[in-house]
Amino acid sequence: MKCKLCPHYCDISENAYGFCGVRKNVDGEIVSDNYGKITSLALDPIEKKPLYHFFPGSKILSVGSYGCNMKCGFCQNFEISQNKANYEYLSPEKLTEIAINTQDNIGVAFTYNEPTISFEYVVDCAKLLKQADLNVVLVSNGQINSAPLEKLANLVDAWNIDMKAWSEDFYKRQFGDFETAKRTVEIVSKTAHVEITTLIIPGENDNDYEIAAMSKWLAGISADIPLHLSRYFPRYNYDKPATPKDTLFRLVRIAKQQLNYVYVGNV
Ligand code: SF4
């Protein structure tokens, strides 16, 4: 069976998993093995997603499962993205009930690990959350093919999409697809609020050219899309020192030549 959810297009034999370690061939059908398996649940400030221009000052119930369809050596969340962590099962009905009963909560953010690989769960929850007049937020690497994305896009109110770099080579080294990430931003910006995050890693994606080129592309969609340049700290397989603050401030100045809202994160 071929999984057509993301650009890996995995061929999965009976009872085996795809590259993400989540989607599985069961009796000739591709299913998501992490359906409803929640590893993290917290009421976070919306700014923590980060979303700075979507109900600023509010809080959102944030949930994550496990697994990812990229394998970034610098992953800042590798404990749940690259491993099957302990989980609690929450049906879409139960998650919606918790969201409704949580005080001062504007909705549910699917975050912490890559939510699009839990496609069926996110869709099932999003339908119920919309019925309850709650917001649906996705924090994603954007690695989802157009056909499933079109089915999801109308159910999502806001996205934070991680643009890892402005380089096909960089994406390949982290097992992702540059063109898919760009296309996802272009598609979802037509139907939802969008903000972009880029983790700036010394010697990897911190050159002026990349940020200038990415900002120009983003401004072509809308100069009002907020860009968050986030500070890298050594994690997982990367032991380079943390990004110098001066680098971040230099790149912010470059991005601001094209974009109206550029922020520094994790300093
Ligand atoms: S979602 Fe998982 S199984 Fe499906 S194509 Fe992507 S990596 Fe492969």
**Residue from 2, 20, 177 to probe ligand 1 pocket by mutation (most atoms less than 8 Å from CB):** 20
Rounded Cα–Cα distance for residues 10 and 5 (Å): 9
In what helix (H) or strand (E) does residue 223 lie, and over which residues does it extend?
none
Q: 251 CB under 6 A from ligand 1?
A: no
Structural tokens at position 246: 């001066």
Q: What tokens does 68 get? A: 């990812």
Long-range contacts of 82-85 (CB under 8 A, 24+ apart): 82/236, 84/21, 85/39
Q: How far, in Å, from the CA of 18 to the mean position of ligand 1?
A: 5
pLDDT, residue 50, reads 97
Write out the two tokens for 178.
Answer: 């540059």
d(CA 135, CA 77): 24
pLDDT at position 5:
98
Beta-carbon contacts of residue 86 (< 8 Å; ≥ 6 apart) = 39
194 lines ligand 1 (CB under 6 A): no
Indicate the pairing of strand 23-26 with strand 29-32: antiparallel
pLDDT at residue 212, as a whole number: 98
What is the reported pLDDT for 77?
82
Q: Which residues of the chain have pLDDT under 50?
A: none
- List phi, psi (to 5°) of 238: -110, 130
Write down the pTM of the prediction. Answer: 0.96
Would you say the CB of residue 11 lies under 6 angstroms from ligand 1? no
Residue identifier of the C-alpha nearest atom 5 of ligand 1: 9
Among protein residues, the one with the nearest Cα to ligand 1's atom 6 is 6
Q: Is the CB of 1 under 6 A from ligand 1?
A: no
Beta-carbon count within 10 A of 217 CB: 15
Give CA–CA dist 177/179, Å, rounded: 6
pLDDT digits (tens, 9 = 90+) for 118-174: 999 999 999 999 999 999 999 999 999 999 999 999 999 999 999 999 999 999 999
* Rounded Cα distance, 95 and 142, in Å: 24
- Residue 108's contacts (CB-CB under 8 Å, 6 or more residues apart) are 60, 61, 62, 63, 95, 96, 99, 125, 129, 134, 135, 136, 137
